Chain A
Amino acid sequence: MLIIKDLHASIDDKKILNGINLSIKPGELHAIMGRNGSGKSTLANIIAGREDYEIESGSILFNGKDLLDQSPEDRALDGIFMSFQYPVVIPGVNNTYFLKAALNSKLKHQGLKEINAVDFMSLIREKLKQVDMNEKYLSRAVNDGFSGGEKKRNEILQMLTLEPTLSILDETDSGLDIDALKIVAKGVNNFRSKERSFLAITHYQRLLDYMKPDFIHVLIDGEIVKSGNSELAKELEEKGYSWLEK
């Protein structure tokens, strides 16, 4: 599904990714762990299409298509979704209106009919339940006045609504208390399927107690220095990252 080959990237002449190789197959959940500044979020943002980075070399293929040439919206329409580490407040843009615009954009891309207001509301109510979110958040502006936990739930709500095939969870656990974390994890777990893949980025093992990853990769200085199964997360919990540093 996603194949990253020898990806080198920098921002403002500062090298951040130093040759990332990663392959994600349908149905798999990969976790990338590492300290702050190791390049985790950069990798997530580059896959989602943020334009601030200079791609020096390497490639990313998504379902056989070269991803790096595509706009963020085209990537999203092809099935990529990123849950933001810091979801953005968009004043004056109603959350329902935004969700409906995003969903209709996707339906249109798939050659399907746009959803009407009534069907959309019944769809969204069902999704709200899955992330235990109050309906009142729909009538507010996007992320406006949302607490940290509410913002993250709103991200997962968008994921459930847009049904991407590759979901990148950029530090979805940060800023969440344990109850909110469980709700978010439950939302993600129910959404897992043979066709859907996940890339979860975190620096704590905590998230992985609730979402069982198939693979764990450790990122240090923009390079994957070790990959393994869930045992690796436990080892990291005990020993930290320093034993993996050169």
Chain B
Amino acid sequence: MTHYQEQLTSLLENSIEENEDIRSLRLNAFDSFKKIGFPTQKDEDWRFTNFSKIQNGYFRLSRPSDLPNNFKSPNLLNDQSYPIVIINGHYQPQLSKIPNGLSIFSGSNDFKSNPHSYAIDSNKPCSSKMKNPFYLLNTSLMNSGLSFEISENIKIEKPIEIFFYTSEIDEPIMNHPRFHFRLRKNSKATIIEHYRGQTKQSYFINTVSNFELEENAHLSHFRFQDESFHSNHTSFSGYTLNKYSNLNCNCLSIGSDLYRHNIKVDFKGPNGFARVNGLSLIDNNRHHDLNVIVNHLDNSCTSSQLFKFILSDSSTGVFNGKVIVDKDTFQTNANQTNRNLLLSPSSNMNSNPQLEIHAEDVKCSHGSTTGQIDPEALFYLRSRGISKQRAIELIVEGFAKEIFTNIKNDNFQSKINHKIGQWLESVSNHDKS
């Protein structure tokens, strides 16, 4: 705690030109953070994850001097996307391309026009932001990130890929990137948030990404967490859906030693649609913790969740999902599914799907399964002359790839499948050695 306090003090000292309101927001957020502290096993929503590596780690905020000299962007889609490149926390406009209809703002400019987006509701101690210490920590230390606005009626065909890359660092650094995405009325875009790390040095990334979809806006969001295995990554993705807006969200998480992702979807207008899917691939003794809240605050909205974990070696996973249907709403349609595949007897999964329904006219379903490879399926494939090893690969690959079939961009989908294939291959090599 003292360490993070020191980091805030030095941040404030180094940015005396910063807007007074932001400075007081930082201090307020840190006060609130201090009050609740890092999560412990007594906190229901956090109890399966041990955050002591973050709590006791000496991560310092990234500095401009942390930028590597020569850098070529290994982003996911190359020429097939509009890359927005951020290296070790520092935005690289010379490596980025901005399409027509997309405006980009720095955090301080965005704060001036949209201060409400940064408010932490400190007068409401039970609000989800106030209960999330990492959200508060991000608000007090935010040192990176950008805000994006897609203008009314604009459709951006190619994906916008925010490539957040951590590489060639000499000391344990941290970044608290803050992103805001505002999709104005009738706009349509695909946004990829791609976190990648290539370094043996330990680091800490704590992101907050808030998406606001205005009336009839269509967002396809892909979040790809491909951090180095020496990293700790905590994140919050918040989606506000106004009437007739449409969200298609897919998350693929492969990296990080310790990973926690909070997803929150709020339907603030009627007739919204949200599909939120995720796949976590975990090996060695890494830990992934996913917490999803879908909040049906208005009528006739549909939400669908499908989250899968594949756990190898001694890895551990946590899924906490909650669908809340507000009182006095009607015609809510919600389903939530969590399926987990254990590839090793020493892997462990905690799954807790929940429904909290305060209305009557609803159609909700939820379910969770955790199991090993189906021996019947394995025998079936082997009886056709496919080797045991290959049969296992086919089954696991099938289980994994099923989740992203909703991604319509073929090139993109094949890139994702390639990443999944690489992981499966690396994991099957663990067994051999």
Partner-B contacts on A (CB < 8 A): 48-51, 71-73, 75-77, 81-82, 84, 87-94, 97-98, 101-102, 105-106, 109, 141-142, 158, 162
A-chain residues with CB within 8 Å of residue B402 when the two chains form the complex: 91-92, 141
- Given the known inter-chain contacts A72-B379, A101-B394, please indicate yes or no for A92 contacting B401, CB distance below 8 A: yes
- Within the complex, the shortest CB–CB distance from A83 to chain B, in Å, comes to 10
Pick the most buried of B382, B387, B388, B391: most chain A CB atoms within 10 A of its CB: B382
A-chain residues with CB within 8 Å of residue B397 when the two chains form the complex: 92-93
In whole angstroms, how far apart are the Cα atoms of A46 and B93 in the complex? 66
A-chain residues with CB within 8 Å of residue B395 when the two chains form the complex: 90, 93
Closest to A94 in B: B398
B-chain residues with CB within 8 Å of residue A106 when the two chains form the complex: 385
Contact with A along B385-408 (1 / 0, CB 8 A): 111101100110111111000000
Asked if B382 contacts A93 (CB within 8 A), the reply is: no
In whole angstroms, how far apart are the Cα atoms of A102 and B248 in the complex? 35
B window 356-387: CB within 8 A of A? 374, 376-377, 379-387
In whole angstroms, how far apart are the Cα atoms of A89 and B377 in the complex? 7
Question: What is the interface of chain B mostly: helix, strand, loop, or mixed?
Answer: helix
Asked if B388 contacts A73 (CB within 8 A), the reply is: yes
Asked if B380 contacts A84 (CB within 8 A), the reply is: yes
Closest to B396 in A: A92
Pick the most buried of B379, B384, B395: most chain A CB atoms within 10 A of its CB: B384
- Given the known inter-chain contacts A88-B374, A88-B380, please indicate yes or no for A73 contacting B394, CB distance below 8 A: no
B-chain residues with CB within 8 Å of residue A109 when the two chains form the complex: 385
Pick the most buried of A48, A72, A106: most chain B CB atoms within 10 A of its CB: A72
- Given the known inter-chain contacts A88-B374, A92-B402, A93-B398, please indicate yes or no for A101 contacting B390, CB distance below 8 A: yes
Asked if B377 contacts A88 (CB within 8 A), the reply is: yes
Asked if A76 contacts B377 (CB within 8 A), the reply is: no
A-chain residues with CB within 8 Å of residue B399 when the two chains form the complex: 91-92
Among B376, B384, B398, the residue within 8 A (CB) of A102 is B384
- Given the known inter-chain contacts A88-B380, A90-B380, A90-B381, please indicate yes or no for A73 contacting B398, CB distance below 8 A: no
A-chain residues with CB within 8 Å of residue B387 when the two chains form the complex: 73, 105
Asked if A76 contacts B383 (CB within 8 A), the reply is: yes
B-chain residues with CB within 8 Å of residue A142 when the two chains form the complex: 380
Pairs across A and B, CB under 8 Å, 26 listed: A72-B379, A72-B382, A72-B383, A73-B382, A73-B386, A73-B388, A73-B391, A75-B383, A76-B383, A76-B385, A77-B385, A84-B380, A89-B377, A90-B377, A90-B381, A92-B397, A92-B399, A92-B401, A93-B394, A93-B398, A94-B398, A97-B394, A102-B381, A105-B384, A105-B387, A105-B390
Among A82, A91, A101, the residue within 8 A (CB) of B386 is A101
Asked if B386 contacts A105 (CB within 8 A), the reply is: yes
A-chain residues with CB within 8 Å of residue B401 when the two chains form the complex: 92
- Given the known inter-chain contacts A92-B402, A101-B390, please indicate yes or no for A158 contacting B384, CB distance below 8 A: yes
In whole angstroms, how far apart are the Cα atoms of A39 and B398 in the complex? 34
Asked if B398 contacts A82 (CB within 8 A), the reply is: no
In whole angstroms, how far apart are the Cα atoms of A98 and B384 in the complex? 9
Asked if B398 contacts A162 (CB within 8 A), the reply is: no
Closest to B401 in A: A92
- Within the complex, the shortest CB–CB distance from A100 to chain B, in Å, comes to 11
A-chain residues with CB within 8 Å of residue B394 when the two chains form the complex: 90, 93, 97-98, 101
- Within the complex, the shortest CB–CB distance from B416 to chain A, in Å, comes to 14
Among B374, B377, B385, B390, the residue within 8 A (CB) of A162 is B385
In whole angstroms, how far apart are the Cα atoms of A97 and B376 in the complex? 19
Asked if A48 contacts B383 (CB within 8 A), the reply is: yes
Among A49, A89, A90, the residue within 8 A (CB) of B383 is A49
A-chain residues with CB within 8 Å of residue B388 when the two chains form the complex: 71, 73
Asked if B382 contacts A102 (CB within 8 A), the reply is: no
A-chain residues with CB within 8 Å of residue B376 when the two chains form the complex: 88
B-chain residues with CB within 8 Å of residue A90 when the two chains form the complex: 377, 380-381, 394-395, 398
Asked if A92 contacts B374 (CB within 8 A), the reply is: no
Closest to A89 in B: B377
Asked if A50 contacts B380 (CB within 8 A), the reply is: no
B window 84-116: CB within 8 A of A? none
- Within the complex, the shortest CB–CB distance from A78 to chain B, in Å, comes to 9
In whole angstroms, how far apart are the Cα atoms of A73 and B384 in the complex? 6
B window 394-428: CB within 8 A of A? 394-395, 397-402
B-chain residues with CB within 8 Å of residue A88 when the two chains form the complex: 374, 376-377, 379-380
Asked if B384 contacts A162 (CB within 8 A), the reply is: yes
In whole angstroms, how far apart are the Cα atoms of A109 and B387 in the complex? 11
Closest to A159 in B: B384
